[in-house]
Amino acid sequence: MDLVRPDAQEALIRPLVGRARGGDQAAFRELVLLHQDRAYGLALRITRSPADAEEVAQDAFVRAWLALARFRGESSFATWLHRIVARRALDRLGELKARRGREAAVGETESLPDPLFAVPGAAPGDFEAATRGRRLERLVMRLPAAQRMAVTLYYYEDRSVEQAAAILGMPESTVKTHLARARAALRAAWQKEGL
């Protein structure tokens, strides 16, 4: 499970970034291990396809590696990486929509394999928590893309509204609106399904 908390572990990450910028692949591998779950999760929540999410996340890491020399540390590495993942995932989503249409992408949500969703802190036998987690994920996956990204960054990535706005390239007010609408939709579905 991913251990990275964006604010708390930046000090741990910064030396790794410095070494990776110098061409140290071992350091970059550490960065991949620290960020892979969140990067993959963000890509999955945007693309709603495990195969596409893996491709997008891997591609984002490779692009980050190639562009590390241009990373100036003005934002955290995680924010910078997530911006790459989000843009790549949005590009991929646009391609998928153009190719298959939106309905097909929604249909894929139902075929997401259960082991993708892990509930931190849940005991192995805690089926109720696991089931709730999976059902919640499915509810999140049904949100429109903009709301899905806002929820993903704000809740799952522990980003502030300001950081989410920077990653998504949106005004903060827009992110707040997406969050409010997503919460309303999720809460309604949550109550409807009796979770």
Partner 1 sequence: MDCEYFERWLDEGPGETPGAEGHAHAASCARCGAALAAARALDAALERSAIAAPADFAERVMERVARARQARLLAWIEPEVLPWWVRAAAEPATALSLALAALVSWQYPVLARFTVAAFQALASPAVATFMQQLAAPRFTLDLAAFSDPFVFTGLVLAGLPFAWWAGLAVYHWSGDPQAPRTAWR
Catalog residues that contact partner 1 under the rule CB under 8 A: 1-2, 25, 28-29, 32-33, 36-37, 39-41, 44-45, 50, 54, 57-59, 61-63, 65-67, 70, 83-84, 87-88, 90-91, 95, 116-122, 129, 132-133, 136-137, 151, 154-156, 176, 179-181, 183-184, 186-187, 190-191, 195
Q: Name the residue nearer to partner 1 (CB basis): 97 or 190.
A: 190
User: Nearer Cβ to partner 1, position 14 or 29?
Assistant: 29
Nearest to partner 1 of 10, 87 (CB atom): 87
Cα(180)–Cα(115) distance, integer angstroms: 29
Least Å distance between CB 57 and partner 1?
A: 7
Task: Retrieve residue 95's tokens.
Answer: 């391609």
Question: Which of 59, 108 has the CB closer to partner 1?
Answer: 59
Measured CA to CA, the distance from residue 49 to residue 163 in angstroms comes to 25
Q: How far is the CB of 125 from partner 1 (least distance, A)?
A: 16
- Residue with Cβ nearer partner 1 (21 or 156): 156
Quote the DSSP letter at residue 171.
-
Question: Measuring CA to CA, which residue among 91, 94, 117 is closest to residue 105?
Answer: 94
Q: Measured from the CB of residue 30, what is the shortest distance to partner 1 in angstroms?
A: 9
- Least distance from C-beta 96 to partner 1, angstroms? 11
Contact 105, 48 (CB under 8 A): yes
Taking the C-alpha atoms of residue 106 and residue 101, their distance in angstroms, rounded to an integer, is: 9
H/E segment holding residue 103: helix 102-108
| Shortest distance, position 21 Cβ to partner 1, whole Å | 13
Supply φ then ψ for residue 6, to 5 degrees. Answer: -50, -40
Q: Report, in Å, the least distance between residue 165 CB and partner 1.
A: 14
Give the position of tokens 């929540």: 45
Q: How far apart are CA 53 and CA 143, in angstroms?
A: 17
